[in-house]
């Protein structure tokens, strides 16, 4: 019997152990392109993206391209994204596509095929998804991720203030919506070692989260480091005993040092070292 692909959780654990526990966003904001001296057009987008991938592709564990900043240029922007995914993977980095897809039935299946099917031009090691049509609506993505050795990061406790009105709302059974989502993830990760493939997005800016059970046996993507105000030193307070499973995400805190390649590398290395120190 042929063994299936190595699960994302195992690949992620190895990448973080070998390269450091850091995810760098690829977020080509118009303002950031301008800061780099680039035009807000497809040529500027391509140069920005290529510079980041070439500078950091052999250094960081995970890249997190923000799909929206490529989609805004239409098919030409998506072509840049496809090239970036391919070239980053060639350099050994994992790709976490930040697309926050969420739908039902055949539409969710189509999103899963776009990002989680092995032969797709946008195949990603993991995908961010929204569970707020019900966790069960994500089942096509969960199944396809398992089949292709990929993973998901489900919006759980996000750092934007508006998120609380949904995520911290209390259900009839007395559990919050966020706690319910974490429970589903724990069930989908049960028995997986060294780490499950289904993670939660939990903001690093949220302070003490001891009221929530973050022990889902899966990764915890932690945006908010750097420009949003959180620091690596905050991670033990926010994540407690699960801090070793945290994937801290930095975007502008690293990208603002471009287009100088050496400066980008130094910034990423500094954040990775700070995270190592903080999480022990």
The rounded mean pLDDT for the chain is 96
Distance CA 224, CA 248 (A): 8
Q: Which of 100, 168, 252, 256 is catalytic?
A: 100
Mean pLDDT, rounded, for 125-149: 98
Please check whether residue 230 lies inside any domain of the structure. Answer: yes
pLDDT score of 280: 80
Give the domain range for residue 53: 8-273
pLDDT score of 3: 72
Please check whether residue 159 lies inside any domain of the structure. Answer: yes
Task: Count up the domains in the chain and report the number.
Answer: 1
> Could you report the per-residue pLDDT of 232-261, keeping only the tens digit for each?
999 999 999 999 999 999 999 999 999 999
Contact 61, 21 (CB under 8 A): yes
Please check whether residue 3 lies inside any domain of the structure. Answer: no
CATH of the domain at 230: 3.20.20.70
Please check whether residue 57 lies inside any domain of the structure. Answer: yes
Residue 28, φ and ψ in degrees, nearest 5:
-80, 70
pLDDT at 1 over 70: no
Please check whether residue 149 lies inside any domain of the structure. Answer: yes
Contact 54, 261 (CB under 8 A): yes
- pLDDT bracket for residue 158 (50, 70, 90): very high
Mean pLDDT, rounded, for 110-116: 98
pLDDT at 2 over 70: no
**Tokens 């070793």 belong to residue:** 244
With a pLDDT cut of 90, the percent of the chain lying above it is: 95
Our answer to whether residue 118 is catalytic in this structure is no
Contact 63, 90 (CB under 8 A): no
Please check whether residue 209 lies inside any domain of the structure. Answer: yes
Which helix or strand (DSSP H or E) is residue 127 part of? strand 126-129
> Could you report the per-residue pLDDT of 37-56, keeping only the tens digit for each?
999 999 999 999 999 999 99
pLDDT score of 162: 95
pTM given for the model: 0.97
Distance CA 158, CA 29 (A): 21
Distance CA 239, CA 211 (A): 11
Please check whether residue 196 lies inside any domain of the structure. Answer: yes
Contact 155, 132 (CB under 8 A): yes
Please check whether residue 44 lies inside any domain of the structure. Answer: yes
């Amino acid at each position: 019997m042929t063994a299936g692909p190595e699960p994302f959780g195992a690949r992620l654990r190895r990448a973080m152990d070998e390269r450091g526990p850091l995810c760098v966003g690829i977020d080509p904001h118009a303002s950031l392109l301008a800061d780099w001296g680039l035009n807000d057009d497809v040529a500027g987008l391509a140069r920005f993206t290529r510079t980041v991938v070439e500078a950091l592709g052999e250094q960081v564990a995970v890249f997190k391209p923000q799909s929206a900043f490529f989609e805004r240029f239409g098919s030409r922007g998506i072509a840049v994204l496809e090239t970036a995914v391919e070239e980053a993977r060639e350099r050994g980095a994992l790709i976490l596509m930040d697309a926050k897809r969420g739908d039902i039935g055949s539409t969710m299946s189509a999103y899963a095929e776009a990002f989680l099917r092995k032969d797709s031009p946008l195949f990603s090691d993991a995908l961010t998804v929204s569970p707020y049509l019900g966790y069960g609506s994500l089942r096509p993505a969960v199944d396809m991720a398992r089949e292709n050795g990929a993973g998901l990061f489900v919006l759980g406790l996000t750092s934007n203030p508006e998120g609380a009105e949904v995520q911290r709302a209390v259900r009839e059974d007395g559990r919050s919506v966020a706690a319910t989502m974490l429970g589903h993830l724990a069930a989908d990760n049960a028995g997986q070692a060294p780490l499950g493939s289904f993670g939660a997005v939990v903001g690093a800016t949220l302070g003490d989260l001891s009221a929530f059970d973050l022990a889902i046996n899966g990764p915890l993507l932690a945006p908010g480091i750097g420009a949003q105000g959180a620091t690596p030193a905050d991670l033990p307070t926010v994540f407690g005993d699960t801090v070793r499973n945290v994937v801290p995400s930095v975007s502008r805190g690293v990208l603002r040092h471009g287009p100088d390649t050496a400066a980008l590398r130094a910034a990423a290395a500094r954040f990775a070292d700070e995270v190592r120190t903080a999480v022990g």
